[in-house]
Chain A
Amino acid sequence: MTALNELTLAAALKGLANKDFSSRELTQAHLDAMAGAEALNAYLIATTDQALAMADASDERRKNAETGPLEGIPLGIKDLFCTKGVRTTAGSKILGDFTPSYESTVSSNLWHDGAVMLGKLNMDEFAMGSSNENSAFGPVVNPWRAKGGDQKLVPGGSSGGSAAAVAAGLCLGATATDTGGSIRQPASFTGTVGIKPTYGRCSRWGIVAFASSLDQAGPITRTVEDAAIMLRSMSGHDPKDSTSLKADVPDFTAACTRSLKGLRIGIPKEYRVEGMPAEIEKIWANGMDWLRAEGCEIIDVSLPHTKYALPAYYIIAPAEASSNLARYDGMRYGVRVEGADLTETYEKTRGQGFGEEVRRRIMMGAYVLSAGFYDAYYIRAQKVRARIAEDFKNAFSQCDALLTPTAPSAAFGINARLNDPVQMYLNDIFTVTANLAGLPGISVPAALDNTGLPLGLQVIGKALDEETCFAVGGALERAADFNAKPSKWW
């Protein structure tokens, strides 16, 4: 029998329903796995007592036949989500021991549906990063290693803790957030499934903001079906978030096995970037073949403004961040470093409270918004953003979904790219466009590269058409028959 922490979320739901095991047993198995996985540094806090209490309450509800769609399922929560009574850090020192008096809408939706919280997951500080090396609490280590090697690899970021925990069997699924690729890129690096839904699908209320117009929550899981189950619970209109969409939440799970016959899949030619590893080219081509076999028509499309996406993203996201992070001033909560006067207190608090990458982005953001530069940078970036959205609209007049690689490489070594921020930013090259256009994108593991590391393919769908993402993602998953697991070294 599969260990309880290695089940899929869907299988665990069945097991619970069949009374093969209780939520308490399932939860305990995960807590045990977590206790043995400190080397991964995936969890910042294990909420052990709360997890067991929630599991017991779930078992009680099941006894009374009051079961929710996630009844008894133990999940990890990215530490960007505010959790009532549980310290929330956003991966930063500046929040100190900040303990919210409120629960984010997304996590409270999960608890409402019966899920159990295992703990808070490590992440890049304020979700800024592509390797999880920007956490104030130390990097997360990818459970995957190259064949025969023992070099520690990054799990991707910013949701590196979420991806690593899911890959290593430290939860059945995890919440994550994606501003420029922070769900999909770590999913690709860890052989997991991650979906960033349409902007506005999940409420941002109670999620520490990075870049408001781009931030979107989504799940990381081990299968496409698990992602569908979890996303359904996370989604829904929230009057407390003005940008939340008033749209019905469909049965995403049903979409996972939907026929693809007659679907047109676009291949954006601009995503064939120079210097892309041949292996990525190859799995991309494999993906096309698999979808052809399912009855899809593969067509070439053009997204002509793609090359401007990354620069535009690195103007808009830091601009919003520079303002969103102004509230961390040491006045009301979190860390405060006293100075001789108010200005010095601000400088010391923020200078010492924020890490290097966060400081860099705040500086960039303040710069692009400042008088004299606003038009040249921010306004132009917004124009680019509008063009990119238009590109997608045009492409979607010819096809139903787009197929691309998720990331330009497999997981790389810890410290390997730390001193080259631009190289680090390039990780987001295939993912930022969906954030800029507000579109759903799913990353599905497609193969291992020749060093034995997972690589993902991305499916980008039309706004509010996560169902097609799940349908295509499900087909890719079945065709790839990806069932590799990292061999336990931790």
Chain B
Amino acid sequence: MFTAERVADKSDWITTETGDWEIIIGLEIHAQVASKAKLFSGAATKYGAEPNTQVSLVDAAMPGMLPVLNEYCVEQAVRTGMGMKAKINAFSRFDRKNYFYPDLPQGYQISQLYHPIVGEGEMQVELDDGDSIIVGIERLHLEQDAGKSIHDLDPNATYVDLNRCGVALMEIVSKPDMRSAREAAAYVRKLRSLVRYLGTCDGDMEKGNLRADVNVSVRRPGGELGTRCEIKNLNSMRFIQQAIEYEARRQIQILEGGGEIDQETRLYNTDTGETRTMRSKEDAHDYRYFPDPDLLPVKLSEDWLARIKADLPELPDEKKARYVKDFGLSEYDASVLVSDREKAAYYEEVAKGNDKKLAANWLLNEVFGKLNKENVDINDCPVSAAANCAIVAMIAKDVISGKIAKQVFEICWTEGGDPEAIVEERGLKQVTDTGAIEAMIDEIIAANPGQAAKVKDKPKTLGWFVGQVMQASQGKANPQAVNKILREKLLD
């Protein structure tokens, strides 16, 4: 579904002297399939290997070599398609895209133009402000990556590393359904989260296994669509957003100056933050696509598809729905928790045997807060999910107060150790013995008769007594019990 009708949120409009503009964005994501072997050869795909050490005879296009499809990659493409709720094509086929370049040994890239393995779908994309948009998926197809040309080792020569040549990519093409850099970023984040849940792509943009080509055009809000430019090969969330912002403003400037946008392919310069022409439409290659006669069509049986579907893990959208429905979490809290697989898994471990909401609050407020502050990834959190589970259990059973819990968490973070043992050894257990609390209260009332007398007229001053008791108990007195007894003694 192409939702060109959708007009950008006003806060995303670009306003200039001539009025308002909105940006129309479509993305082509190249996601490297998390496979140990390449798409059509058995060569390894390990990142960072010595140049040209992971190259088979097929990858180097030696005479007489033939591609053999890696079925594992097909399965990952299908799983990704299912994750995007897209149509899986029982019949797909590989085509050759012909062009000459030294890092393309065959002289053609094997891709899927005419019959992609995955057709249309759609994804719900949550934005930072809690809203969400629907982004249509046009298609997902499998293709080979090219090698790497290295131009800066020698002023008179280009070196070629074929390690990446033949690695399986999923090209995921969205519809032009995004209206701002932040929406595009949210889409990439959602897609990244999805493929990581599925394990079909590592989603590591730094290693280049998730890259984006961005199509940008501008129009008057709700008006006629403009001519688009494609910005190639963006490999970070920041660059994607900066390139969109720059490109939109560049196009607006041209249009406002009475010019026209040339449909062209552009490159983003990460140093200057600008885009520049890579090739114009006139220079566009004629790729002479045709079905690869070395490969048979891919035919997927219903049984096989059903089996793959049954084996899919719970995906973020379903997980979120379950957290809301079964755990009673808010939509927002649930979407933060499911935003990546590790967070959700961590949460479920903390919540095990505990009150789900309490566990969610604890995690979102305390644990994630600390992780953000210290800039630590959840996978490297020094306090284990099991330890947090124990802390939450102690809060729930009134063994410790929320305040003490934070203290325990800090100790676990800096010193490590078992939370229950810490509470035990350091005498942090909450005092729930009403006799002991009553004795403390009696002592404080006796020492402050004037204050005590005022409480009946000014019930708010009860809080002062609560503070005194908590102080006297070093925070260990159960606040509910303290409140209850104080009320009985001073208000009733």
Interface of A with B (CB < 8 Å)?
81-82, 88, 90, 95, 98, 100-102, 104, 204-209, 211-213, 239-243, 319-320, 322-323, 325-327, 329, 331-333, 342, 346, 366, 369-371, 374, 378
Contacts and interface: CB of A to CB of B under 8 A. Distances in A.
Contact of A323 (B60, B65, B108): B108
B180 interface: no
A367 B106 CA distance: 19
Contact of B64 (A206, A213, A370): A206
B288 A370 contact: yes
Contact of B295 (A100, A102, A242, A320): A242
Given A205-B66, A327-B106, 9 more contacts: A98-B63, A102-B57, A206-B65, A209-B64, A240-B68, A326-B108, A346-B100, A369-B289, A370-B288
Contacts of B289: 369, 374
Nearest to B40: A242
Interface in B78-122: 96, 98, 100, 102, 105-108
A242 B67 contact: yes
B290 interface: yes
Given A326-B107, A378-B290, A242 B68 contact: yes
Contacts of A322: 98, 288
A369 B288 contact: yes
B290 A102 contact: no
A456 B309 CA distance: 57
Interface in B48-73: 57, 60-69
Contacts of B294: 209, 212, 242-243
Contacts of B160: 331
Contact of A329 (B66, B68, B100): B100
Nearest to A241: B66
B109 to A, nearest CB: 11
Contact of A82 (B63, B68, B107, B286): B63
A211 B57 CA distance: 20
Nearest to B103: A331
Contacts of A209: 63-64, 294
A323 B288 contact: yes
A212 B105 CA distance: 18
A239 B71 CA distance: 13
A326 B65 CA distance: 13
15 contacts: A100-B62, A104-B64, A242-B69, A242-B295, A243-B293, A320-B290, A323-B290, A327-B63, A327-B105, A329-B102, A329-B107, A332-B60, A332-B61, A346-B100, A369-B98
Contacts of A242: 66-69, 294-296
A319 B68 contact: no
A79 to B, nearest CB: 11
Contact of A100 (B63, B69, B105, B108): B63
A327 B294 CA distance: 15
A102 to B, nearest CB: 6
At the interface, is chain A mostly helix, strand, loop or mixed? Answer: loop
A102 B62 contact: yes
Nearest to B60: A332
A205 B288 CA distance: 25
Chain A CB within 10 Å, residue with most, of B63, B67, B102, B107: B63
Q: What class of interface size applies to chain B in its complex with A?
A: 20 to 34
Nearest to A239: B68
Interface of B: 57, 60-69, 96, 98, 100, 102, 105-108, 160, 286, 288-290, 293-296
B290 A82 contact: no
Given A102-B57, A371-B286, A211 B106 contact: no
A90 B107 contact: no
Q: Which 7 A-B pairs have the closest CB atoms?
A: A326-B107, A213-B293, A369-B288, A212-B293, A327-B61, A206-B64, A208-B63
A346 B295 CA distance: 27
B290 A319 contact: yes
B296 A243 contact: yes
A240 B158 CA distance: 32
B65 A205 contact: yes
Give the most central of B61, B66, B107, B108: most A CB within 10 Å.
B66
Contacts of B108: 323, 326
B295 A205 contact: no
A213 B66 CA distance: 12
A319 B64 CA distance: 17
Contact of B63 (A90, A213, A371): A90
Contact of B105 (A88, A102, A204, A332): A332
A95 B286 CA distance: 27
A246 to B, nearest CB: 12
Contacts of B102: 329, 331, 342
Nearest to B108: A323
Given A326-B107, A331-B102, A211 B293 contact: yes
Contacts of A82: 62-64
Contacts of A327: 61, 63, 105-107
A323 B295 CA distance: 14
A212 B106 CA distance: 14
Residue of B60, B286, B294, B295 with most partner-chain A CB within 10 A: B294
Contacts of B296: 242-243
B8 to A, nearest CB: 35
A435 to B, nearest CB: 12
Contacts of A374: 288-290
B40 to A, nearest CB: 9
A240 B63 contact: no
A158 B295 CA distance: 25
A203 B407 CA distance: 71
B106 to A, nearest CB: 5
Nearest to B58: A240
A323 B57 CA distance: 18
A346 to B, nearest CB: 6
A327 to B, nearest CB: 4
Contacts of B106: 326-327
A158 to B, nearest CB: 16
Nearest to B101: A342
B107 A323 contact: yes
A342 to B, nearest CB: 7
B66 A204 contact: yes
Given A100-B62, A102-B57, A204-B66, A323 B105 contact: no
Contacts of A329: 100, 102, 107
